[in-house]
């Protein structure tokens, strides 16, 4: 089977707000020593427990069920995902010379 050639000039897909949350949680160091599956279940539960407003807040303290508070620092996850989508749109326009069609535009 042939492997695809990697081309650094190609646009990289946008990240979701959950992927930013996941990255921040792993960087916090609270999950050191945990199995990946257990850490994933814990992080998924924390994400589901966050309300829509909490996913928008730029700095937030969340109480873990099994440990101390941790600080989610940086930008809001939803806003970071929106900024990454804007970056992706610019890359697609520059590389492929076309616009991205959004789900809202498809529904109309």
Which tens digit of pLDDT belongs to each residue from 9-28?
A: 888 899 999 999 899 888 88
Q: 36 pLDDT band (50/70/90 cuts)?
A: very high
Q: 77 pLDDT band (50/70/90 cuts)?
A: confident
Of residues 50 and 54, more confidence is placed in 50
* pLDDT over threshold 60, residue 79: yes
pLDDT given at position 59: 40
DSSP per-residue codes, 79-106: HHHHHHHHHHHHHHHHHHS-PPPPHHHH
pLDDT given at position 105: 53
Least-confidence region, from 44-48, 60-64, 99-103: 60-64
Q: How far is CA 24 from CA 47, 76, 90, 95, in A?
A: 12, 11, 25, 30
pTM of the full structure = 0.67
């Amino acid at each position: 089977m042939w492997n695809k050639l990697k081309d650094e000039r190609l646009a990289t897909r946008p990240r979701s707000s959950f992927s930013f949350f996941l990255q921040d949680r792993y960087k916090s160091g609270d999950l050191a020593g945990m199995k990946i599956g257990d850490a994933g279940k814990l992080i998924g539960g924390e994400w589901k427990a966050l309300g829509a407003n909490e996913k928008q807040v730029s700095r937030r303290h969340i109480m873990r069920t099994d440990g101390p508070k941790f600080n989610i620092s940086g930008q809001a996850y939803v806003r970071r995902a929106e900024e990454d989508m804007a970056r992706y749109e610019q890359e697609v326009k520059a590389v492929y010379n076309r616009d991205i069609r959004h789900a809202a535009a498809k529904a109309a």
